């Protein structure tokens, strides 16, 4: 989703800005832009609805005054207004003196815009962020100080923002944040800003995070203010090691990441196996014992959470509840509840909001792939799913690693609370050790069957995904991947629900994907579909269209089935000519609620 970078360097800014934006590409975006101070006090603006690389061409074609070392950049994921160059950031004020990049959503943009237009301001875009340019423009005329103008403007905003304002005339740059991540870092190379440390980690060793209400002058000295009052800068944080990734032998990251799953699973299980079996994965977190688990997340992370929560109930008889993060407000948290917040990015606004709005004394554990994320900083304890960098926008290996670490946590907590014996825990862990091999076998089976299967379903407008018991969240994940990548309707149901309505959708040739973990009741559901001409595509137990090896104890349910489901979505998307790494309308880091 939207990403921000800013720099104050001695050499030309575009190189830094475009390199940083490219490192934010994985989050998903639909347009990008940079604004750079020029030698004559003007600001050069370059924006595109193509990939970030297209900005290089625009900069090369620039024949205006020499470009300086101060600039800001942005990748946009549309929320207000369509995808077009005029809606891309940076936005500018009426005089084109101020340039602004903004992440977040302004709740009161409508009334502010009406007020500003009434006062004579002329808007160039449909985007809520543009009100910030005109607000600061007004305040700057009165205060003649950019830091004060931005502080006073921020007081008028409601909603969320990480914002950077560049004054091309003076070269001053001011950043402000409220409920949206933004960090600033200084090094011998210059001063940098970013919404995500990965954008600037090549040039800095440590960084500082803007807190809610902070407004900071981005100069050599970093003048820090909080709630309008000069304050000390927060302590620096060491940047995480730089991530590296390669495409293995594949054309796209998603394919490469699916292929990497056996290796990632082996690494994760090796890393946690012993501490699962003896319970120390749980006791090491230092959290109080809990009676029930409340799992919150969104999308794929929510599906992983459903598997983890169901594991706790199935293996140890302990209660769990599932909460869609965006619907968490008002849910009752009983005493003795542990909240498990799951998010690969750790930046998902819905999850952050759910945590902020929960009671302060209720413990929260985060399961994240980024231990330096905002979510990780907010909670009482953090577990890493240790998937490594995931570049494909659709989550694959992070899902698998979330399920493995979350299930490991569940087993460890059940050992620690005496609900299962160490011996039983050891057997469950031994079962997990077999997963990498079973993944590889599941991928082989899928590769054998998928070319023909894709041919059969390429014209289908919609799909049903069914499962029972532990297979239900996998059906949900299969449907989510298919719709994200192929833009076809895909609905997931517990198979028993079929006769309560969804069967109406089944007609001759309707593909119905069954995640078959061997539940005998599925046979009846398969007959119901066949009787109406539906096309059964079963994945799982022997005799299925795509057979995946079954695990004896299945602490995570039929995890192996997710590999063919991911590959089905990917292969069909590629066959239909879509870019699997950049599915439309999907963002890797969903920073608005």
Interface positions with ligand F6R (CB under 6 A): 298-301, 343-345, 348, 351, 394-395, 480, 484, 590
Q: Toward ligand F6R, which CB reaches closer, 351 or 412?
A: 351
Q: Toward ligand F6R, which CB reaches closer, 34 or 561?
A: 561
Q: Toward ligand F6R, which CB reaches closer, 254 or 515?
A: 254
The two structure tokens encoding residue 283: 């006791």
Q: Toward ligand F6R, which CB reaches closer, 18 or 298?
A: 298
Task: Quote helix, strand, coil % in the chain, to nearest 5.
Answer: 40, 25, 40
Residue 588: active-site member: yes
Strands (DSSP E) contained in 359-484 are: 364-368, 381-384, 462-467
Q: Toward ligand F6R, which CB reaches closer, 210 or 394?
A: 394
Three-state DSSP state, 239: coil
Between β-strands 511-516 and 535-540, what pairing exists: parallel, antiparallel or unpaired? parallel
Q: CB count, 10 Å around CB of 576?
A: 13
| Nearest distance, CB of residue 590 and ligand F6R, angstroms | 5
Radius of gyration of the chain (CA): 25
Rounded to whole angstroms, how far apart are CA atoms 413 and 2?
37
Of residues 221, 201, 165, the one with CA closest to residue 37: 165
Determine which one of 22, 481, 582, 588 is catalytic: 588
Rounded to whole angstroms, how far apart are CA atoms 206 and 229?
25
Residue 2: active-site member: yes
| Nearest distance, CB of residue 484 and ligand F6R, angstroms | 5
| Nearest distance, CB of residue 337 and ligand F6R, angstroms | 21
Q: Toward ligand F6R, which CB reaches closer, 215 or 592?
A: 592
Residue 136 C-alpha from the chain's centroid: 31
Rounded to whole angstroms, how far apart are CA atoms 366 and 376?
6
Closest chain position to ligand F6R (CB): 299
Q: Are 332 and 316 in contact (CB under 8 A)?
A: no
| Nearest distance, CB of residue 274 and ligand F6R, angstroms | 27
Sign of CA dihedral 557, 558, 559, 562: negative
The two structure tokens encoding residue 251: 């054309």
Between β-strands 223-226 and 229-230, what pairing exists: parallel, antiparallel or unpaired? antiparallel
| Nearest distance, CB of residue 368 and ligand F6R, angstroms | 8
| Nearest distance, CB of residue 351 and ligand F6R, angstroms | 6
**So which residues are the catalytic ones?**
2, 588
């Amino acid at each position: 989703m939207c990403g921000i970078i800013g720099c104050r360097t001695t050499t030309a800014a575009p190189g830094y800005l475009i390199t940083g934006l490219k490192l934010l590409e994985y989050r998903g975006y639909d347009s990008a832009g940079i604004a750079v101070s020029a030698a004559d006090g003007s600001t050069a603006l370059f924006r595109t609805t193509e990939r970030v690389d297209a900005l290089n061409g625009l900069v090369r074609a620039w024949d205006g005054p020499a470009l300086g070392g101060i600039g800001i950049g942005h990748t946009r994921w549309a929320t207000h207004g369509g995808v077009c160059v005029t809606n891309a950031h940076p936005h500018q004020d009426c005089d084109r003196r101020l340039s602004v990049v903004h992440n977040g959503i302004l709740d009161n943009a409508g009334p502010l815009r009406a007020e500003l237009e009434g006062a004579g301001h002329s808007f160039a875009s449909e985007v809520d962020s543009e009100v910030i340019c005109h607000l600061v423009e007004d305040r700057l005329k009165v205060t003649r100080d950019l830091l004060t103008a931005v502080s006073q403007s921020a007081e008028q905003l409601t909603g969320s923002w990480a914002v950077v304002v560049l004054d091309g005339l003076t070269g001053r740059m001011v950043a402000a944040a409220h409920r949206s991540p933004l960090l600033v870092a200084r090094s011998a190379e210059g001063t940098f800003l970013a919404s995500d440390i990965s954008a600037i980690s090549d040039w800095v060793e440590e960084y500082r995070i803007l807190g809610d209400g902070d407004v900071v002058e981005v100069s050599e000295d970093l003048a820090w203010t909080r709630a309008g009052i000069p304050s000390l800068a927060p302590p620096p944080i060491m940047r995480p090691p730089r991530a590296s990734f390669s495409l293995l032998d594949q054309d796209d990251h998603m394919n490469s990441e699916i292929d990497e799953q056996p290796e990632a699973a082996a690494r994760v299980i090796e890393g946690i196996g012993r501490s699962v079996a003896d319970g120390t994965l749980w006791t090491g977190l230092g959290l109080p014992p809990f009676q029930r688990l409340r799992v919150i997340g969104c999308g794929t992370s929510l599906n992983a959470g459903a598997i983890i929560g169901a594991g706790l109930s199935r293996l140890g008889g302990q209660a769990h509840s599932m909460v869609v993060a965006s619907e968490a407000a008002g849910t009752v948290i009983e005493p003795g509840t542990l909240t498990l917040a799951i998010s690969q990015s750790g930046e998902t606004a819905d999850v952050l909001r759910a945590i902020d709005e929960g009671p302060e004394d209720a413990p929260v554990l985060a399961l994240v792939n980024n231990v330096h994320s905002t979510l990780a900083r907010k909670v009482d304890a953090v577990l890493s799913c240790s998937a490594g960098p995931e570049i494909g926008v659709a989550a694959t290996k992070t899902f698998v690693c979330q399920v493995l670490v979350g299930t490991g946590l569940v087993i460890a907590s059940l050992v620690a609370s005496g609900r299962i014996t160490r011996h039983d825990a050891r057997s469950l862990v031994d079962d997990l050790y077999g997963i990498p091999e079973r993944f590889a076998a599941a991928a082989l089976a899928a590769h054998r069957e998928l070319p023909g299967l894709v041919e059969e379903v390429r014209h289908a407008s919609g799909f049903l995904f069914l499962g029972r018991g532990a297979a239900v969240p996998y059906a949900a994940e299969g449907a989510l991947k298919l719709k994200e990548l192929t833009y076809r309707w895909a609905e997931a149901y517990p198979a028993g629900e079929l006769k309560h309505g969804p069967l109406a959708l089944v007609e001759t040739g309707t593909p119905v994907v069954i995640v078959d973990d061997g539940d005998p009741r599925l046979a009846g559901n398969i007959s119901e579909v066949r009787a109406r001409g539906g096309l059964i595509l079963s994945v799982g137990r022997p005799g299925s269209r795509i057979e995946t090896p079954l695990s004896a104890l299945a602490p995570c349910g039929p995890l192996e089935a997710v590999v063919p489901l991911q590959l089905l979505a990917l292969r069909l998307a590629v066959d239909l000519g879509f870019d699997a790494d950049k599915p439309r309308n999907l963002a890797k880091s969903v920073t608005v609620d």
